[in-house]
Homo-oligomer: A and B are copies of this chain.
Amino acid sequence: MRILVLGGDGYLGWPTALHLSDCGHEVAVADNYARRGYDHELGVDSLVPIASMRERVEAWREVSGRTIRSYYGDLVDDDFAVEMLRDFRPDTVVHFAEQRAAPYSMIDRKHAVYTQHNNVVGTLNLLFAIQEVDPEIHLVKLGTMGEYGTPNIDIEEGWLDVEHKGRTDRMLFPKKPGSFYHLSKVHDSHNLEFACRIWGMRATDLNQGVVYGQQTPQTSRDPRLATRFDYDAVFGTVLNRFVIQAVLGHPLTVYGSGGQTRGLIDIRDTVECIRLASENPAERGEFRVFNQMTESFSVEEIAKVVANSYDGAVEVEHLENPRVEQAEHYYNVVHTGLVELGLQPHLLSNTLIESLFSVAEAHKERVDLGAMRPTVEWRKAASPLRADQ
């Protein structure tokens, strides 16, 4: 199968491309390197050094004998989207190519507008490009569990059977996203469902949980194949940040009470979910949704897992929550679709966390402590960027 991974230079896009290539697919990646640009803007960096795309592709050729083609461009440029599809003629397009940090979208007006414009217009261009080049192409689109928020009912996979005043309908699950970034994914989902409905497009929307881990069997074959490891308060995700804080003897920073619960997934499961969705495409006209997560934990519980696994003293510090979110809430998520396709989850275990500790240990001299303190305030329409403080 020919698979094009958009955002193939990112934290998950790159390991996904390697996994798909390793499984025998013809893989190409595309990126505008915006994620590397955000590092420059915010004055932060991946804990683990990452090679350039040219070096990555060359290293993969050396260790695997397989070629990954690379496109440079921006989906907001519709000519680029069309020309790339014409050139590569994919069966499947995996779409990671969006600004993906909630705090980044909440910095100020400019970052909110950038996030929604970049994500929504990029995806719209992609929908039209697929129609123009080959409507048979299956789009595998990355969404987020954050689209749902924390409703007081079970979270189903994208659709909800509603009974109301004695009548019934199958409707899109009502969303209550928690940032302008999460909102952009909700907008994408609505646009995507419409494209399936009017054009007979085939699409899979993957509402992904918080991803943890940094290594896959492919990325660990050569240091040049490593993917990013973000720990800063804007792009870092909670478990990865706690691991680094533990290694540095820094308190684990829990926002608020830590009662807020989220779905999690191991990076090795993420790349496998993408393979499963790609190899089992949605039907023409089908808007298929999977909740791409394997377990739920509260932030407090994640802190405890990290503290208990680390071979040293770990403190937990509760910071005022910069986000607007429910501190205590119901959270029960249906996530059987990918398991039915064959996913065998890696559950959060000491083994994995220990490997994360050793990654953090190996690079701890690169840590910028200041970057871990939250500076983006949800309740304010404009937060100072770190550089301005």
Contact = CB atoms under 8 A, between A and B. Distances in A.
B190 A167 contact: no
Interface in A105-132: 108-109, 112-113, 116-117, 120-121, 124-125, 128, 131-132
15 contacts: A109-B124, A109-B128, A112-B124, A113-B125, A124-B180, A131-B381, A153-B165, A154-B165, A154-B167, A180-B194, A183-B187, A183-B194, A197-B324, A198-B378, A199-B379
10 closest Cβ pairs, A-B complex: A131-B381, A171-B174, A152-B169, A109-B128, A153-B164, A187-B187, A198-B324, A153-B167, A172-B174, A151-B169
Nearest to A378: B198
A113 to B, nearest CB: 5
Contacts of A160: 162, 164, 174
A176 interface: yes
Given A154-B165, A162-B162, 16 more contacts: A78-B113, A108-B128, A109-B128, A116-B191, A120-B120, A151-B171, A153-B162, A153-B163, A153-B164, A154-B167, A160-B174, A162-B174, A180-B194, A183-B191, A197-B324, A199-B381
A186 interface: yes
A125 B168 CA distance: 38
A113 B109 contact: no
A71 interface: no
B109 A116 contact: no
A72 interface: no
A224 to B, nearest CB: 38
Interface string A189-208: 01101100111000000000
Contacts of A121: 113, 116-117
A152 B168 contact: yes
Nearest to A152: B169
A152 B160 CA distance: 13
Number of copies: 2
Contacts of A167: 152-154, 330
A238 to B, nearest CB: 20
A335 interface: no
A220 B382 CA distance: 46
A304 interface: no
User: Which of A151, A171, A177 has the most chain B CB within a 10 Å cutoff?
Assistant: A171
Contacts of A324: 197-198
B190 A186 contact: yes
A108 B109 CA distance: 29
A173 interface: yes
A379 B285 CA distance: 12
A35 interface: no
Contact of A125 (B109, B163, B191, B197): B109
A162 B169 CA distance: 12
Contact of A154 (B164, B178, B194): B164
Contacts of A177: 190, 194
A128 to B, nearest CB: 4
A334 B330 CA distance: 30
A175 interface: yes
